[in-house]
Amino acid sequence: MPRIFDSVTLGKHLAVTIVLDDEPMGKSCIRIAVLLIFLFAFVEFALASKHVDREMNDLAKARGCSLCHSIAPGMPGGQQTLPLGPAWKDVARKYKTLESAPERLTRIILEGTGSYPGDRHWKGKAKEAQMPPNAVEISETEAKKLVRWILTLDK
């Protein structure tokens, strides 16, 4: 008689139950089930990441961030001039090892670069324009959320 070995729920899209029997194939089935669990967990993570990317892009557009910044470096639409602000992937690469990066970048978003003059030097990546304060356009909570997302873009 088969017996339930384990039941696992992964995210909101998948539930897996592993059933053992006394047949020699039982261990092979476990290996396949474990492999499937990892595969579905990866798919669930990828779907969640796409949702977060879309949500953060929408937030950035709604708050005006996308007027000066883009996700990836490069000149959108083949422009011959540099963008106003650095690409977020460049920001993530620059700040990924800095422990104070989340707080510092949140302050820069809210207060501008006036208090951090060295942060406006993105030679070859963006015009050396000072970032204006944005506390009127974006809340501190939204800025923190956006910064957490930006810092994941270094890959």
Domain locations in the chain as residue ranges: 1-52, 63-155
What confidence score (pLDDT) does residue 117 get?
57
- With cut-offs at 50, 70 and 90, classify the pLDDT of residue 71: confident
CA–CA distance, 115 with 131 (Å, rounded to integer): 11
For residue 154, how many other CB atoms are within 10 A of its CB?
Answer: 15
pTM check: above 0.75 = no
Average pLDDT over residues 74-88: 72
Tens digit of pLDDT for each residue in 30-51?
Answer: 667 666 666 555 555 454 455 5
- With cut-offs at 50, 70 and 90, classify the pLDDT of residue 126: confident
The CATH homologous superfamily of the domain defined by 63-155: Cytochrome c-like domain (1.10.760.10)
What confidence score (pLDDT) does residue 48 get?
45
Closest Cα to residue 130, out of 71, 86, 94, 96?
A: 86
